[in-house]
Amino acid sequence: MGALGQLGMKWVLRWGLVTALLCGLPFVLQPYELDVYRKLLFWVALAVSYNFLFGIAGQMALSHFAFAGIGGYTVVILLTQADFGLGLAIIAALLLAGILAFIVSFAATRLEGFYLALATLAFAQLLIVVLDEGGTLTGGTGGLTSYSLPAVFGAKIEGPWYAVVMVGVLLGTLAILLRIDRSWFGRACRAIRDNSQAAAAMGVDVARTKIIAFTLTSVMAAAAGMVYAFFDNTVNPPVFGLENAFLLLFMVIVGGSGSHAGAIIGAVLLKLSQDILEPVVGHFHAIGFGVLVVAAILFQPKGLIGTWDNLRARLKRGKGVK
């Protein structure tokens, strides 16, 4: 077997082991631990796709959680109120999320930084208003409850199997974005992030690249939202509100903007910290997160993954000196 074949085999074994571990873990967890685990997977999946949009494509959008809500609400409404089959409901929900994302991204292609954040923030807030005032369609402020996922090929998905589905969404999202990041499109996104005018001068279609990145990652958020909707068989507006949108931004910044590993680390750290601190100090934990983000921006702009990279570099230099 050649070197390339050995490398491919190592890659398959590595990812096979990770998949087996992530899929096997929910079957040994207690009910509360299982609930924490599958919701953690949901946050990690959102952080990975948002990291590509914000950290790699350079679009500071605050609508990512809104598209997760669009995916979750749409699939539930179509299943429970429109009598759609599961497959058709999933396709329709992803299609709706893609159309709305395209419209929002097309309107925001000329906006950058603070102005893009404001525009997408307005869209996210508009969605919350629609959900709150949606009456029986959206369940109003209480959301939609008391529904269940129909059988898939005659089998009922429940308990730990929801976590397995979420693992599939997470790994699928990560695999697609890793492949894209290493392609010409990923390089174009990074070029636009660093200097959009220079990227345009090199022949990159800035507007089209931004639209594709925004639409693709928003659809990925919608896919994660669809799975989340069946964790507790309930969806409600606060879950997809602005507080969680900013927490998602904090995760990417603290973990390391532009790094896939950093997004995963930031999501795991801040979500588990929230679960531990919120019962003790309430919403005051958000102040601590804010301080952490400011400290990361001032002292380590590359986040926790940057600190790890610096440590590894120092260790390598130390071994070289010896």
Q: What pLDDT, in 10s, does the model give residues 232-284?
A: 899 999 889 888 898 899 889 888 888 899 899 989 988 888 777 766 666 66
Query: In this model, does residue 286 exceed pLDDT 70?
Result: no
pLDDT at 124: 92
- 41 and 172 in contact (C-beta within 8 Å)? no
**Confidence at 96, pLDDT banded by 50, 70, 90:** very high
Span 128-137, average pLDDT = 92
- pLDDT tens digit string along 169-204? 999 999 999 999 999 999 999 999 988 889 999 889
Place of tokens 């939202």: 225
**Confidence at 69, pLDDT banded by 50, 70, 90:** very high
pTM: 0.89
- 251 and 267 in contact (C-beta within 8 Å)? yes
Query: In this model, does residue 303 exceed pLDDT 80?
Result: no
Least confident of 12-16, 58-62, 283-287: 283-287
- DSSP E strands in the chain: the ranges are 144-145, 234-235
- Token readout for 11 is 């890659």
CA 79 to each of CA 149, 150, 159, 234: distance values in angstroms, whole numbers, following the listed order: 8, 9, 20, 13
d(CA 207, CA 180): 18
Q: Across the strands, what pairs with 176?
A: none
pLDDT at 4: 47
Span 288-292, average pLDDT = 68
> In one letter, which amino acid is 58?
G
Q: Report which of 93, 122, 120 is spatially closest to residue 105, judged by C-alpha positions.
A: 120
Question: Maximum CA pair distance of the chain?
Answer: 71
Query: What average pLDDT is seen over the chain?
Result: 86
Span 78-90, average pLDDT = 91
Contacting residues for 98 by C-beta, under 8 A, at least 6 apart: 215, 218, 219, 222
